[in-house]
Amino acid sequence: QVHLVESGGGLVQPGGSLRLSCAASGRTLNNMGWHRQAPGKQRELVAGITRTGTTNYADSVKGRFTISRDNPKNTVYLEMGSLKPEDTAVYYCVGNLFGSLYWGQGTQVTVSS
């Protein structure tokens, strides 16, 4: 069984920064990533990273967010900068292993003055 636990969300002013962390227990996951869901909207991919470090980003966050991972710690990070009010959402960590998807419980990020 795999469990993902996110941390690092909170309230930040526009233009500010936050760092999200997601620690996976149980097994070392293959692809990992972050999705987000704003009120009234569908969940969307924010960024993904393979086990070997190849990354991809949603166009809306390119140049502002950076995803990284520490394989020995089985942890993935999301560095978020130049935050905008439209980045407000619940951010979910996700990982896959042998065709199964595992989700964290989500962490709230609110960008507001």
Per-residue pLDDT tens listing for the chain (113 residues): 889 999 999 999 999 999 999 999 888 899 999 999 999 999 999 999 999 999 999 999 999 999 999 999 999 999 999 999 999 999 999 999 999 999 999 999 999 99
CA distance 34 to 69: 12
Instruction: Name the DSSP class of 16.
Output: -
How far CA 37 is from CA of 29, 46, 92, in Å, comes to 22, 10, 8
Kindly calculate the radius of gyration of the chain based on its CA atoms and give it in whole angstroms: 13
Decide: residue 81, CB within 10 A, 0-12 exposed, 13-18 middle, 19+ buried: middle
Q: Which has the closest alpha carbon to 4: 107, 108, 105, 109? A: 105
